[in-house]
DNA sequence: CGAAATCTTGACCGATCTCAACTTACGTGG
DNA sequence: CCACGTAAGTTGAGATCGGTCAAGATTTCG
């Protein structure tokens, strides 16, 4: 029960609730776990549940009309997915793949909607989250539409910075292959552009996953 | 009052309400009008209201970090905007420009949130709408990330079809300049690609704004 | 009807992708 | 715990796509 509780309390949209409301929601969840590499759902699946990551790491990706894959996001504990099939369409429009052994809590569409009617402030939290995600997604679209690869990489690196006062060393949250996919380019081009940025003295590749940003102002002007 | 009522009743997120709830919401709105060419809000503005289009046409666009403009969408009567400043951040992240004389209803963030608490089913409607928009936006992002310009144009045209059984002739909802901006390309490239598609016999440009799709299957394989 | 904006076409160039070879990192099973 | 096989990452060369600049045609709207 303890770990089940943790599963809910770490989710931003629920963490303002009272203890007993939290318990009520917890009772409505079911748990399941997935081995590394397994698919949690696929495009078209009619699973109408919200999936909350309790442990592990999940890759969310889409496959375009012409068959090319793009990484949409990586889910870490506390993140959730499947909201489209809960609130909107009846089916998934992306793929979710466990990239490490993963544990998940699920709430069905029906139960979640009951809670939203009962505790309307949860909806406001979710609406806030959705509108921010929508905004992020549109910003991303605009970047794809207007910026070249090197600029998109620069912004991607800049946004990985946790605290600019603390450290300008960032850690890639996924493989470079996935970074390339996320940024709409190829591993070859990413590799080259990072080498270019390093040659210009704007970044320093310390290890394959750690990059120190040497000159953030110049980097963002690329 | 009649036109004010119409303003609300045509909005999908409200149109399931009872007559008296509708009246209540209407009383909370204020009206205003904008001349063609005027800016309704700009990136950074702290206007926390939902803007519902009653009459006219509005261009929503963003300007990227490096100063390039991208058209995000065109609003027609019944559409709304400003949701980010209502539910999420406190400021706008895009520009809204009246492209014809336009009339608008506005509801402030506070009043709207009161309604959502009072009538929780409205939230579910908005959540459905948001998750569909989020999905559309992510699909668009994936297209930008993985498809070339010609393919993006092809899908854009295909999605303009109202009823495939009725007619395969579509009308561009905006200038080709704006279509190019929306699709993340230039007017020159759009012009050339349309000419290419026409040469291949896939489309027929009847007038500057009307295009007949001759072979939709082939078109989507481009 | 005319000015201004939009749209089209051509020539050129640069950015990025593709294909291929090679190197490096990683996970697995002995 | 090491060795090996596989996947990831890098680098080079060549091809292609799409952008830029410029000129001309067309449309739009006052």
pLDDT band of B1, cuts 50, 70, 90: very low
Chain A contacts of B64, Cβ < 8 Å?
A: 142-143, 145-147
Strand partners, A33: A103
Q: What is the pLDDT of residues A155-209, one digit of tens each?
A: 999 999 998 888 899 999 999 999 999 999 999 999 999 999 999 999 999 999 9
A109 C-beta less than 7 Å away from strand D: no
Query: Which of A96-100, A217-221, B114-118 is the least confident region?
Result: B114-118
Measured in angstroms, the CA of B141 and the nearest CA of chain A are apart by 5
pLDDT band of A1, cuts 50, 70, 90: very low
Domain end: B102, B136, B170, which one? Answer: B136
- The pLDDT of residue A159 is 95
B190/C6 CA-to-C1' distance in Å: 13
Three-state secondary-structure class, residue B48: coil
In angstroms, rounded to a whole number, what is the distance separating the alpha carbons of residues A109 and A90?
10
Decide if A74 is inside a domain: yes
Q: Are A32 and A132 contained in the same domain?
A: yes
The CATH code of the domain that includes A155 is 1.10.10.10
Q: What is the pLDDT of residues A81-136, one digit of tens each?
A: 998 888 888 899 999 999 989 999 999 999 998 988 888 888 888 888 888 899 99
- The pLDDT of residue A6 is 59
Mean residue pLDDT across chain B: 90
Q: What is the mean pLDDT of residues B131-148?
A: 94
Query: Which of A1-5, B41-45, B139-143, B149-153 is the least confident region?
Result: A1-5
Q: Are A157 and A107 contained in the same domain?
A: no
Decide if A155 is inside a domain: yes
Q: Are B61 and B116 contained in the same domain?
A: yes
The CATH code of the domain that includes B11 is 2.60.120.10
Is residue B73 within 8 Å of B25, Cβ to Cβ? no
- The pLDDT of residue B118 is 87
Determine whether the interchain pair B72/A138 forms a contact, defined as Cβ–Cβ distance below 8 Å: yes
Residue of A nearest to B60 (CA): A138
Q: What is the pLDDT of residues B21-76, one digit of tens each?
A: 888 888 889 999 998 889 999 999 998 899 999 889 999 999 998 889 999 999 99
- The pLDDT of residue A119 is 86
Question: Which residues get their CB within 7 angstroms of nucleic chain C?
Answer: A 148-150, 184-186, 188-189, 193, 208; B 175-178, 187-188, 190-192, 194-195, 205, 208
Domain end: B108, B136, B164, which one? Answer: B136
B186/C5 CA-to-C1' distance in Å: 16
- The pLDDT of residue A8 is 67
B193/D18 CA-to-C1' distance in Å: 11
> Which residues form the domain of A190?
147-219
pLDDT at A142 over 60: yes
Q: Are A99 and A200 contained in the same domain?
A: no
Q: Are B52 and B9 contained in the same domain?
A: yes
Decide if B142 is inside a domain: no
Q: Tell me, rounded to whole angstroms, the distance of Cα A188 from its chain centroid.
A: 24
Decide if A142 is inside a domain: no
Sign, CA torsion B44/B86/B140/B155: negative
A191 C-beta less than 7 Å away from strand D: yes
β-pair type (B80-81, B49-55)? antiparallel
SS3 of B103-121: the string is EEEEEEHHHHHHHHHHCHH
> What share of chain B in percent tops pLDDT 90?
61
Decide if A141 is inside a domain: no
Q: Are A125 and A160 contained in the same domain?
A: no
pTM tops 0.85, yes or no: yes
> What share of chain B in percent tops pLDDT 70?
96
Mean residue pLDDT across chain A: 90
CA distances from A59 to A21, A201, A218, B2, B153 (A): 31, 32, 32, 51, 29
Of residues B65, B72, B127, nearest to A127 (C-beta): B127
Q: Are B64 and B97 contained in the same domain?
A: yes
Residue of B nearest to A222 (CA): B66
Of residues B132, B181, B220, nearest to A88 (C-beta): B132
Domain end: B91, B113, B136, which one? Answer: B136
Count of C-beta atoms within a 10 Å radius of residue B150: 17
Q: Are B106 and B206 contained in the same domain?
A: no
pLDDT at A214 over 80: yes
How many domains does chain B fold into?
2
Chain B contacts of A147, Cβ < 8 Å?
A: 64-66, 68
- The pLDDT of residue B7 is 67
Q: Are B9 and B109 contained in the same domain?
A: yes
pLDDT at B196 over 90: yes
A193/C20 CA-to-C1' distance in Å: 20
Q: What is the mean pLDDT of residues A50-63?
A: 93
Chain A contacts of B151, Cβ < 8 Å?
A: 65-66
Three-state secondary-structure class, residue A122: helix
């Amino acid at each position: 029960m303890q770990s089940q509780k943790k599963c809910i309390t770490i989710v931003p949209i629920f963490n303002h609730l009272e203890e007993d409301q939290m318990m009520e929601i917890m009772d409505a969840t079911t748990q399941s776990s997935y081995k590394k590499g397994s698919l949690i759902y696929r495009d078209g699946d009619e699973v109408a549940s919200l999936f909350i990551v309790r442990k592990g790491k999940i890759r969310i990706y889409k496959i375009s009309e012409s068959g090319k894959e793009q990484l949409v996001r990586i889910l870490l504990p506390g993140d959730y997915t499947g909201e489209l099939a809960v609130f909107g369409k009846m089916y998934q429009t992306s793929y979710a793949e466990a990239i490490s052994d993963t544990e998940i809590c699920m709430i069905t569409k029906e139960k979640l909607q009951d809670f939203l009617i009962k505790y309307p402030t949860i909806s406001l939290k979710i609406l806030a989250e959705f509108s921010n995600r929508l905004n992020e997604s549109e910003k991303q679209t605009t970047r794809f539409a207007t910026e070249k690869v090197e600029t998109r990489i620069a912004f991607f690196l800049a946004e990985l910075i946790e605290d600019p006062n603390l450290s300008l060393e960032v850690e890639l949250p996924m493989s470079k292959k996935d970074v390339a996919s996320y940024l709409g380019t190829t591993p070859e081009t990413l590799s080259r552009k990072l080498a270019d940025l390093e040659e210009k003295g704007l970044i320093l590749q310390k290890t394959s996953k750690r990059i120190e940003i040497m000159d953030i102002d110049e980097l963002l002007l690329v």
